[in-house]
Amino acid sequence: MRWERLFADLEGQLEGQARAERDAEIADRVRRERAAITLLERFALARGSRVEVVIGTGERVVGVVDDLGSDWVLLADGQGRPLLVPLTTMLGVTGLPARVADPGVSRRFGLGIALRALSRDRAVVTVTDVRGGQASGTIDGVGADALDLAEHARDEPGRSAAVRRRRTVPFSAVALVRGH
């Protein structure tokens, strides 16, 4: 009888040790998988969900995740207006899920191509720079690392007579592009 209790106790200890090792391995796998998750993948899973993004200026931008590219996220604000936010200007995000979606759900093109599409569309935008400065107008052209903005009133078309000045903004200074 004494040996049976001794063996049962030994078996219990071995089962406990095996369970602890298995739990530690599972926790380590979860940590490794989570370490490989990108911010963009988390935005992909949040598509259609409301998030709050703090950009480099300190401004809080709230919207529904509508689209995303290789280095940008498109949100729709409460009035359905588009907000193009480069990932590099984000200081924090509230409302993202912890799990990820298939990483192939984002667009493959970067900020430059998205800005070129806005230029081609002649969309009136307000560009907020990383220091909080704002300029409204039409994107006239987009280079490899900067955009040219023809500044004019938001309610006027970007015709020559309405353009007050032309501003070149490096991509690294773009914190937010707001559609109207």
Would you list the DSSP string of 118-164?
Answer: HHHHT-EEEEEETTS-EEEEEEEEE-SSEEEEEE--TTS---GGG--
Strand partners, 149: 139, 167
Helix (H) or strand (E) holding 177: strand 174-179
More confident residue, 22 or 53: 53
Q: Tokens representing 20?
A: 């602890």
CATH 2.30.30.100 fits 37-180, yes or no: yes
* Sign of the dihedral defined by the CA atoms of residues 52, 117, 113, 153, in that order: negative
State what percent of residues in the chain have pLDDT above 90.
62
Q: How far apart are CA 137 and CA 169, in angstroms?
A: 13
Verdict on whether the full-model pTM lies above 0.85: no
Name the residue ranges covered by the structural domains of the chain: 37-180
Tally of CA atoms within 13 A in the half-sphere of 149 that contains its CB: 24
| 63 close to 54: Cβ distance less than 8 angstroms | no
The answer on pLDDT for 111 being more than 60 is: yes
- Average model confidence (pLDDT) across the chain: 87
Q: Which amino acid makes up residue 68?
A: L
pLDDT (tens digit per residue) in 45-83: 899 999 999 999 999 999 999 999 999 999 999 998 999
Task: Assign residue 48 a region (left: φ > 0; alpha: ψ between -120 and 50; beta: otherwise).
Answer: left
